[in-house]
Amino acid sequence: MLAIIGGSGLTQLSNLNITRRQVVRTPYGEPSGALTFGTIEGREVVFLARHGYGHTIPPHEVNYRANIWALHAENALDVVSIASVGGIRADLVPGTLALPDQIIDYTHGRDQTFSDQTYRSVTHIDFTYPYSDAMRKRLHRAAATAGVPLVDGGTYAATQGPRLETAAEINRLERDGADMVGMTGMPEAALARELGLSYAAVAVVVNYAAGRGASAAGVRLEEINAVSQAAMARVRKVLDSLLILDAD
């Protein structure tokens, strides 16, 4: 079964025919909300809003372990994460959808592994390529079939938040090789890998990163919403297309 983790701007899937909602308890506490099960295009899907259904949980307080554990416990094998980002690379302008292929993790103080007292069977994971190649290819094909432009590849910098970055921090991220910046990509991707889930992310560029382009004088938060809404309509098309292709 496919799991979709929705980020800011995607707290529900309007095209999901909901069959049930389920509160899942995990050894790591409660996920961000009840899991919503349903079908899209006749295929079973489970949806979780990363920040809670009322968007009340900030990036550094999301219980990433509980979220990934719950999806795994409910038999999700594939996970598509939808994540808003600021664009650093010049072509990643607001409204762009991108399929990152690398991550640099700048987060700290987050529970980032299942390898602790509760569950000791995993110690090290290979994370050379943090996203599932198979899942990325499926998303790429789905977007192409739906006629939705999707930039293939890019390095996602995961910052701690909840504040946005300084212009100097963005310059540093760029020197490090980052193309886009968001706050929720880690430890989510690593936890998914620990449990053997096939995980990829669709990054939605909702603003120029701090100090860049129209954010030269500052990031105008009030403009993010409109960009995000328009872009999420295209994300939904990609997800529909993914499920139709999976059904073939």
Q: Could you tell me which stretch among 94-102, 138-146, 204-212, 237-245 binds ligand HPA (CB under 6 A)?
A: 204-212
Q: Is 183 in the site for ligand HPA (CB under 6 A)?
A: yes
Q: Which helix or strand (DSSP H or E) is residue 189 part of?
A: helix 188-194
Size of the site for ligand HPA (CB under 6 A): 13
Q: Could you tell me which stretch among 38-46, 74-82, 145-153, 159-167 binds ligand HPA (CB under 6 A)?
A: 159-167
By beta carbon distance, the residue nearest ligand HPA is 86
Say how far residue 95 (Cα) sits from the centre of its chain: 16
Q: Is 165 in the site for ligand HPA (CB under 6 A)?
A: yes
Residues 72-91: x where in contact with ligand HPA by CB under 6 A, - otherwise, as a string = ------------xxx-----
In the bound state with ligand HPA, the residue whose beta carbon lies nearer, of 8 and 198, is: 8
Q: How far is the CB of 147 from ligand HPA (least distance, A)?
A: 25
Q: How far is the CB of 3 from ligand HPA (least distance, A)?
A: 21
Work out which of 26, 159, 198, 241 binds ligand HPA, going by CB under 6 A.
159
Longest dimension (CA), the chain: 49
Work out which of 10, 13, 82, 164 binds ligand HPA, going by CB under 6 A.
164
Peptide bond into 27 cis (omega under 30): no
CB burial of 216-244 (b: ≥16 within 10 Å; e: otherwise) equals eeebeeeebeebbeebbebbbbbbbbbbb
Which residue is it, tokens 């993790």? 105
Work out which of 33, 154, 182, 211 binds ligand HPA, going by CB under 6 A.
182
Instruction: Decide if 180 contacts 157 (C-beta within 8 A).
Output: yes
Helices within 12-132 (DSSP H only) = 64-73
In the bound state with ligand HPA, the residue whose beta carbon lies nearer, of 51 and 65, is: 51
CB burial of 136-169 (b: ≥16 within 10 Å; e: otherwise) equals bebbbebbeebebebbeebbbbbbbbeebbeeeb
- Report which of 13, 151, 4, 14 is spatially closest to residue 85, judged by C-alpha positions: 151
In the bound state with ligand HPA, the residue whose beta carbon lies nearer, of 66 and 205, is: 205
Which residue is it, tokens 């993914």? 242
In the bound state with ligand HPA, the residue whose beta carbon lies nearer, of 138 and 234, is: 234
Binding site for ligand HPA (CB under 6 A): 84-86, 159, 164-165, 181-183, 206-207, 209, 219
